[in-house]
Structure 1
Amino acid sequence: MINEIPFADITLLKAEKCDLLRLAYAHQFGHSRKISAVAEVTRRLSKNKNSLAVGVSCILDHLTTVKATLNNQGKLRALLLHRSKPISCLNVSGEFDTRALDKIPRIGLALALKL
């Protein structure tokens, strides 16, 4: 049995004339690398503001992927991506504000067809 080393990636990005710094860490789990976890810290120097987001992605099969993200502002986002053919894609997404439970969640649907 071969010991498999988990795949991890760290990225540091400078953007908008070095006003925006973004540090992201991605880690893939499992033998087939179907589950990934991500953490991202963003710093805007001009406004002296930081943000944090954590997320997870799971490949259910070769056509379907599910993703979820939660940020420090309390926004929970989810995405279901399904490819019916290599050229067609259906996206179902939703966003829920965990700090404002009385608000209606946002739901989106997108269908991309290539003929």
Structure 2
Amino acid sequence: MASGPAPFSDIGKRARDLLTKDYTFDHKFTLTLPSSTGMGLTATGLKKDQIFVGDINTVYKGENTTVDVKVDSYSNVSTKVTVSGVLPSTKAALSFKIPDHKSGKLDLQYLHHHAAIDSSIGLNPTPLLEVSAAIGSKDLSLGGEVGFDTASASLTKYNAGIGLNRPDFSAALLLTDKGQTLKASYIHSVDPFHAVAAELTHRFSTYENSFSIGSSHTVDPCTVVKTRFSDNGKLALLSQREWRPKSFITVSAEYDSKAINAAPKLGLALALKP
């Protein structure tokens, strides 16, 4: 709901997107063929070093149902069926992979004006249970998530966080890795065309601190340039251009100042949508 809090996974998302989204240092090609009948087809190919992988994804969208089927280059078939509106403010999704008969999973999402709850359960004799929740409003939210492995009767994760969202800035504080890592992030929109973001990470077990800072600049209505610098000496640059409606070409580069004998990483991503 627009007036309610976003799911827990969205806390800190605005800063993460500026710092990491669309950066790729491989070669990626995506072709999307929409259809007026509700059936869409997407083909993706990725060349990483000397390995090439790909998949074909078909999505059917009905009034309250979405069916997503993906076949990858290893002949694995992934299927996800999402149904909304069965109960007010509720969405359910059933997913499974073939031939992995233990991959079945049921996801439930409930959105309220003051709460967002997501739950997941594996459909096997010893399922993995995961629950996340956020309470508050669209401006201020507090939440957490927990995962429980019934096979070992142990917690696989427990995280917590708080997020503050305003039209021109967003701040988040997250306690992750079972309480071993503290992350603070901030993004500020200087104006409609420029934004800056930063993320600071502290690890309690090793007393290590790390950070990343980045910026986004809208050069013109079709071109965006992003930069990122990390404390490990890596500098990244991204340029993305929408050369036709909903079709993008993205060029990424990363230079490691501590590896002076290594060549910079270069990546190219082409997304076509007729």
TM-score, L = length of structure 2:
0.36
**Matched position secondary structure for 2:251:** strand
Unaligned runs of 5+ in 2: 1-166
Task: Kindly indicate whether structure 1 or structure 2 has the higher relative contact order, using CA contacts under 8 Å at least 6 residues apart.
Answer: 2
Q: Deviation of residue 96 (structure 1)?
A: 0.1
SS at match of 1:60: strand
Q: Does 1:53 align with 2:225?
A: no
**Separation (CA, whole Å) in 1 of partners of 2:204 and 2:248:** 38
Question: Which residue identity is paired with 2:245?
Answer: P
Find 1:77's aligned residue among 218, 229, 236: 236
1:101: Cα distance to partner? 2.5
Looking at structure 1, the residues matched to 245 and 202 of structure 2 have their Cα atoms a distance apart, in angstroms, of 37
Q: Does the alignment pair 1:14 with 2:208?
A: no
Q: Which amino acid aligns with 1:53?
A: S
What secondary structure sits across from 1:101 in the alignment? coil
1:24 aligns with 2:201: no
2:256 pairs with one of 87, 94, 97? 97
Distance 2:255 2:206 in 1: 26
Aligned to 1:3: none
Which consecutive unaligned segments of at least 5 residues does structure 1 have?
A: 1-5
- Secondary structure class of the residue paired with 2:259: coil
In structure 2, the CA distance between the partners of 1:109 and 1:46, relative to structure 1 (3 Å rule), is same
What is the aligned length? 108
- In terms of fraction of residues, the more helix-rich structure is 2
Shift of 1:71: 0.4
* In 1: Cα distance, 2:221 partner to 2:178 partner: 39
User: 1:47 Cα shift?
Assistant: 4.4
Separation of aligned partners in 2, 1:54 and 1:101: 22
Percent identity of the aligned residues? 36
- What is the Cα deviation at residue 46 of structure 1? 4.2
- What secondary structure is seen at the aligned counterpart in 1 of 2:240? strand
2:250 maps to amino acid = N
TM-score where L is the length of structure 1: 0.80
* Aligned partner letter, 1:15: T
For the residue of structure 1 that corresponds to 2:221, the secondary structure is coil
2:220 counterpart SS class:
coil
Separation in 2, partners of 1:47, 1:88: 44
Cα deviation, residue 12, structure 1: 1.3
Is 2:35 the partner of 1:35?
no
Code of the residue aligned with 1:99 in structure 2: it is: K
**Which amino acid in structure 2 is aligned with residue 54 of structure 1?**
I
